[in-house]
Amino acid sequence: MRRWPVLSIRSTVLLGIAMAVLAPTVTLWHLDERLTRAAQEPLIAQNRQAVLVMTAASLVEPMWTLDEKSTRSTAQRALDEPWVNSLRLTENRPLAQPTLLTKAGVEPRQGVFLKMPILREGEMLGELQIGFDPGQIDRALADRRHATILLAALQVLLSVLVLLAVLYRRLLVPIHRLKRQASEIASRADVAPVRWDRRDELGQLGEHLNEVHVQIDGLFDQLEAQKAELEKIAMHDTLTGLPNRALFRELTISAVADARRHGGRLALLFIDLDRFKAVNDTLGHAAGDALLVELSERLRAAMRASDVVCRHSGDEFTVLLRDVKHWDEVAATADRLLKEIEKPLRLGARLVGVSASIGVALFPDDASDHETLVSHADTAMYVAKSLGRGRCSFFRADFNTQLLLNLQLEQELRQALARDEFELFYQPQVDTGTGALTGCEALIRWNHPQRGLVPPLEFIGAAEHCGLISEIGAWTIRTACAQIARWKIAGVRFGSVAVNVSALEFRSHRLLDTLTAAMADFGVQPHELEIELTESVLMTDTDTTQVIVERLHALGLPLAVDDFGTGYSSLAYLKRLRPSKIKIDRSFVRDLPGGDDDRVLVQAIVQLATALGIRVIAEGVETEAQRDFLRRIGCGLLQGYLISRPQPVEGFERFVRCDDVAALAATLPEPVAA
Ligand code: C2E
Ligand code: CA
Ligand code: CA
């Protein structure tokens, strides 16, 4: 097919105007000339005849009278007529010569010749022949043509100008706007709808385009939402809404890259439910699904926002822990997750209990990429299963050994509480100057059936780890209060009893209740008891600490800062928390009175505390030289093997009796052998 050259609307409009204005003008002009010629020709003929007749008539008289001069001038006048070229007069007189007159520059033989006889009263005087200009009509038409051309040109110009102005405003401008509007729609630029004030077709088209714009925007939004939804579906498990394996993989890969850059550690936990198949088989798949949904919610809720829980497949979940400082934390988290999973859950009318096995792999310790991490965690999970399910196992064997020991210890501690295997030893605290007993510290011991007496440092950590510490703490407080009551009845002097409260115990809401209840149950006065808290406990989470300390103050309980000098050693908190006692840590006392630094330090602590009105006790005093130095620098109280080792009740009571005797004798006490 033949293709027409592509013209822009602008060119088409211009071409259209040109054709529409020029063609009729040219046609009209052509027609006009022909019509004018047709109309003019008879007029010219008449005119010529009239000139001939009039000239003949005016020649009659001079020819009759033979007035040659007049005859000639009359003929000459006729020649002056505009379209007359030549004139020939022939007289019927004998010997008369014909007169021939010609206009200057005109060829006498050319022209249109008309003849006429000159008559008087029937007598023929001669013959007149006039030669007219043959181009008369052409010249007349040529004049007219020039005028017409000028007129037509003017008309064309005016028409073109008017048309152009109208078309430009009414057509080209709106078309240009439409074009811009359409291309904005096409480019999905975020622009406001174009205002169309005109009500004509183009305005309506513009309004339609606006509507189309809105609709397209809506469609795109819808499409994007659908795309996001699809992506979410593609990246999340439909049943539980948790990230699926693909998303988990992406997140782990980026977390690994991040950890590698910043030298961080990650833990990947592989969780597999124990005997999930049994739930499915006995309660049906709907119940199995409900169980998975519930468990995934629990897992999600038990994690930090930065951790990722994913449904790996079926009854398998994977968890990514970021910012792991120590494998211990991971074990604690795994433990928390196991407990969450083990909480009974209701499926229809039934209360169901499930357990899970967890395998752990660490980055970078066990593996450095996602696939290996998952595979190692999976392997570790199978180890956990083989060890009897409902537990956690690390890929690293030595962690597992430690884990196993902790687990054993936990179980034994639970038994110890149940079988009442704990015992409190009491270590005296004395006045440096007089040696008189001012109080004692209660220190816990574990009478292990096989291992014998276990010191607290070997089990307090594990007790904190497994959450048994608050029960053990409560036991300590109640036992100390009961002992105070017994001593009061028996009239044994004891001053006050200091109990150690660990960090976790301190923040547990049960501490204050336990203290209030124990004091009420055994009739213990606040000044008969003292709470020992380590400096590090007092320094962390200052707002909560402040609140708890204020509550202890409200109960009237004195507070001693244990292990003073080993913590953060910021002294601001001393002013804020107003402890009644500071216990200088054994590490500063050990090398006294030698050890220049220690000497200066201990002296500074004593001065500072004295200035703040806080009593100072030195821990771990073993030699007389230490005692003498401490006495010299004004440290008011002592505790240590030099005075007495921690002793069971009877031993402590013996000490008190000796102390009483010594006080009676008003001598300084002899050091008591262990
Ligand atoms: P601590 O509160 O600093 O207790 C003082 C520790 O120093 C005791 O160790 C005590 O036996 C020991 N000691 C006392 N005088 C001397 C001395 O002259 N020389 C030496 N070398 N050691 C001395 P113990 O009884 O093994 O307790 C260790 C830590 O266990 C305690 O440190 C305390 O933090 C914690 N603890 C003890 N009983 C409890 C308790 O009932 N609850 C809690 N939460 N922690 C306790
Ligand atoms: Ca202590
Ligand atoms: Ca201490």
Contact 118, 60 (CB under 8 A): yes
Residues pairing with 437 in the sheet = 430
Provide the token pair at 463.
């007790």
For residues 281, 284, 289, 290, the Cα torsion angle rounded to the nearest 10 degrees is -120
| Rama region for 392: left / alpha / beta (φ>0; ψ in -120 to 50; rest) | beta
Between 186 and 255, the more confident residue is 255
- In this prediction, residues 13-22 reach a mean pLDDT of 80
Q: Across all residues in the chain, what is the average pLDDT?
A: 88
- The confidence score (pLDDT) of residue 3 equals 67
- The confidence score (pLDDT) of residue 461 equals 84
- The confidence score (pLDDT) of residue 666 equals 57
CA contacts within 13 A on the Cβ side of 416: 28
User: How many other CB atoms are there within 10 angstroms of residue 504's CB atom?
Assistant: 17
3-state helix, strand, coil in the chain (%, to 5): 55, 20, 25
- The confidence score (pLDDT) of residue 232 equals 79
- The confidence score (pLDDT) of residue 607 equals 93
Q: Which residues contact 136 (CB under 8 A, 6 or more apart)?
A: 44, 83
pLDDT > 90 fraction of the chain, expressed in percent and rounded: 47
Q: Which ligand is nearest to the CA of 456?
A: 1
Instruction: Write out pLDDT tens, residues 383-436.
Output: 888 777 888 888 877 776 777 777 788 889 999 999 999 999 999 999 998 889
Q: Which residue's CA is minimally distant from atom 17 of ligand 1?
A: 620
- The confidence score (pLDDT) of residue 674 equals 43
CA 566 to ligand 3 center in whole angstroms: 10
Contact 380, 395 (CB under 8 A): yes
CA 500 to ligand 2 center in whole angstroms: 5
Q: Which ligand is nearest to the CA of 583?
A: 3
Q: Which ligand 1 atom is nearest residue 639's CA? A: 15
Instruction: Write out pLDDT tens, residues 219-239.
Output: 889 999 999 888 878 889 999
Gyration radius from the chain CA atoms = 63
Burial of 626 from C-beta contacts in 10 A (0-12 / 13-18 / 19+): buried
Instruction: Report d(CA 580, CA 615) in Å as an integer.
Output: 6
Instruction: Report d(CA 17, CA 27) in Å as an integer.
Output: 16
Who lines ligand 1 at CB under 6 A? 427, 443-444, 455-457, 460, 473, 476, 500-502, 532, 562-563, 586, 619-622, 640-641, 646
Confidence of residue 55 (pLDDT cuts 50, 70, 90): very high
Indicate yes or no: pTM above 0.85: no
Confidence of residue 6 (pLDDT cuts 50, 70, 90): confident
CA 441 to ligand 2 center in whole angstroms: 7
Q: Which residue's CA is minimally distant from atom 11 of ligand 1?
A: 646
Instruction: Write out pLDDT tens, residues 380-394.
Output: 998 888 777 888 888
Contact 644, 426 (CB under 8 A): no
CA angle 49, 43, 102 (to 5 degrees): 45
* Least confident stretch, 109-113, 122-126, 647-651, 662-666: 662-666
Pocket test for ligand 1, best of 443, 534, 644, 652 (most atoms within 8 A of CB): 443
Confidence of residue 301 (pLDDT cuts 50, 70, 90): very high
Is 349's pLDDT higher than 90?
Answer: no
Confidence of residue 27 (pLDDT cuts 50, 70, 90): confident
- The confidence score (pLDDT) of residue 29 equals 81
Q: Which residue's CA is minimally distant from atom 33 of ligand 1?
A: 500
Hey, what amino acid is at 182?
A
Provide the token pair at 161.
């100008």
Instruction: Report d(CA 142, CA 591) in Å as an integer.
Output: 138
Q: Which residues contact 520 (CB under 8 A, 6 or more apart)?
A: none
Instruction: Write out pLDDT tens, residues 127-166.
Output: 999 999 888 788 878 888 888 888 888 888 888 888 888 8
CA angle 428, 433, 439 (to 5 degrees): 25
Is 486's pLDDT higher than 50?
Answer: yes
Instruction: Report d(CA 296, CA 275) in Å as an integer.
Output: 17
Residues pairing with 115 in the sheet = 129
Pocket test for ligand 1, best of 421, 429, 481, 500 (most atoms within 8 A of CB): 500
- In this prediction, residues 84-110 reach a mean pLDDT of 85
3-state DSSP of 356-407: EEEEEEEECCCCCCHHHHHHHHHHHHHHHHHCCCCCEEECCHHHHHHHHHHH
CA 161 to ligand 3 center in whole angstroms: 106
CA 307 to ligand 1 center in whole angstroms: 38
Is 49's pLDDT higher than 50?
Answer: yes
DSSP reduced 3-state for 125 = strand
